[in-house]
Amino acid sequence: MRIKKYIEKSKLNIEDRIRKWCGELTPDKRFIIVASILVVFASLNIYFTFTSIYNLGKENKNDRIEIRHISPSELVDKKRSNQINTIHHNLKLNQDQDSIYEPTQSK
C-alpha cells in the first residue's frame, strides 16, 4: 500500500513540475517546442522505416529473413504413421480373410 501511495505522489509531483514549466512559456514558445518535437519524432520514424525496408533485401545472408515451410511436429507424424500402418494392416487382414472365404476362380 505504501508503494502505491509513493507512485501516486511521484506522478503528482512530476505533473505539477511539467505544468509549472509549461505555464511559464508563452504560447509562441510552446508552439515552437511542440512543433520541433513533432519534427524530430517524425524524421526518426521515417528514418527507421526506410532503413528497415532498405536492409530487408540485402544480399548478405546474415541479414536476410529465412523463410521455411512449416513442418508437422514429430508427435503428429508418429501418430499419423501409426494410424496409417494400422489401416494398412487391417486392410491386409480383411483381404486375406476375404480370399479365404471366396472360392478361387481359375481361368
Q: Provide the pLDDT confidence category of residue 46 given band limits of 50, 70 and 90.
A: very high
What are the residue ranges spanned by the domains of the chain?
1-59, 72-107
Give the DSSP letter of residue 61: T
Cα–Cα distance between 67 and 24 in angstroms, integer?
A: 56
User: Can you give the pLDDT at residue 39?
Assistant: 97
Contact 25, 33 (CB under 8 A): yes
| Residue 47: all three cell numbers together | 528514418
What residues contact residue 44 under an 8 Å CB cut-off, 6+ apart? none
Mean pLDDT score of the chain, rounded to an integer? 76
